[in-house]
Each structure stands twice: as C-alpha cells, then as structure tokens.
C-alpha cells in the first residue's frame, strides 16, 4: 500500500485487508493494524477466531434468508411471532434496526439487495421467488415493504408492489418519517417505530 514503504510484509498485507472493508479508509486500516500489533496475542487470536467462526458457522435461513447459525432462524422458529405479517427488507442489518424498536412482532424476508440496473442487479438476483413461495396458502395477510427510501429502494418496492397486489395480500410501505436517501440501519428507534405504525398502502 502507498505511503508505508518501511512496513513489514505482514503489516502491509493486514492494512490492505482492512482497507477492503466498507467504510475503512487507508488511515483507519493503518490504525487498526497497529492497534492489533500492540494488543495482547490473545485479543488478536480471539478476533481471528471470531472471523473464522462467522464464515464457518453462519448461513442463511431457508425461510426468511436472514443470517443465522440455525435453520430456521430464531425469529422464524418463534411461535410468538405473527406469521400473518411479513416485513420485507434489503439486508440483514435492517432486521437488527427494526427489532431494536420492539414495535414489530411479525416475520421478515431479506431480499439480499435491491434492483439496480446501473450495477447489473435485476429482480432475478434478489430473493423474490422465495418471498412468493411464502405467500402461497393464504396464511400471510400483509406484506410491509421496508426498503430504504432511496432511488433503488423505491424502485424495488414499486416492483414488488405490482407483483404482490394481484395475490390478494395487503401491501404496505413504511411511513416516510424516514429521511430520503437514508438507510434503515442508521435510523433512530423512534423514527423507525413511527414509520412502522404509520405504514401506508402501496399505490
């Protein structure tokens, strides 16, 4: 990596690996690397083991497509959840944000992305077929489209709305107390709670 010609090979490699992570710039990557150099060996080993454990033990729930270490995941397997209600989100992080509000007791479905023609992502790349399969049988009465309030999120919600309405299920979206262009994972709990409570029918 540029700017660190005197660093040893393993140090340069670790900086480069950290720099590949989203939101980690070159300076942050260097700080993380030199922090680990000064940290006790046990702490560095614990970090390495945690990363390996995530890669080895975490999979996707066959029902909702959320990340999990058991299948079905704990939310899908919970008999106390309202199985007539499915909240569709873009990423697993969005579930964490909505669960923090403690105002939603239904199930989830993770698309694992959004429609983005610029990036070559179409509906066929998302977990749409898996969502449609969950709606067979008529047990689900409402689908909440909780995509992010940006161009890609809105386009995905509109596509899903057109796809789901003919199936006879109620299709709603979050109230737009959410700032335009923001991601759910960064919204505060109160804003998310109000967005859930004020959800509206999809046009």
Residue 139 has a pLDDT of 93
Q: Which tens digits make up the pLDDT trace of 177-193?
A: 656 556 777 777 767 77
Q: What DSSP string runs through 25-56? A: -HHHHHHHHHHHHHS-HHHHHHHHHHHHHHHH
- Mean pLDDT comparison of 127-136, 147-156, 179-188, highest-scoring range: 127-136
SS3 string, 131-162, reads: HHHHCCCCCCCEEEECCCCCHHHHHHHHHHHH
Cα dihedral sign, 60-66-69-73: negative
Cβ atoms of 90 and 110 within 8 Å: the answer is yes
pTM: 0.75
**In the predicted model, what is the mean pLDDT of residues 119-128?**
94
Residue ranges and CATH numbers for the domains of the chain are 9-57 (1.10.8.420), 67-201 (3.40.1360.10)
Q: Which tens digits make up the pLDDT trace of 58-78?
A: 999 999 999 999 999 999 999
């Amino acid at each position: 990596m540029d700017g660190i010609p005197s660093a040893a090979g393993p140090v340069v490699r670790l900086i480069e690996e950290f720099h590949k992570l989203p939101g980690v710039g070159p300076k942050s990557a260097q700080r993380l690397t030199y922090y680990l150099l000064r940290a006790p060996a046990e702490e560095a080993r614990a970090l390495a083991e945690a990363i390996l454990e995530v890669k080895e033990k975490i999979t996707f729930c066959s029902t909702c497509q959320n990340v999990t270490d058991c299948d079905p995941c704990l939310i899908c397997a919970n008999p106390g959840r309202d199985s007539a209600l499915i909240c569709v989100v873009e990423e697993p992080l969005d579930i964490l944000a909505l669960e923090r509000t403690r105002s939603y007791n239904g199930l989830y479905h993770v698309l694992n992305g959004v429609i983005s023609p610029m990036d070559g992502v179409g509906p066929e790349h998302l977990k749409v077929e898996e969502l449609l399969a969950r709606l067979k049988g008529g047990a689900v009465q409402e689908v909440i489209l909780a995509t992010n309030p940006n161009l890609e999120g809105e386009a995905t919600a509109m596509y899903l709305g057109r796809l789901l309405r003919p199936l006879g299920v109620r299709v709603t979206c979050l109230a737009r107390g959410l700032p335009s262009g923001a991601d759910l994972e960064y919204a505060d709990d109160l804003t998310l709670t109000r967005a859930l409570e004020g959800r509206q029918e999809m046009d």
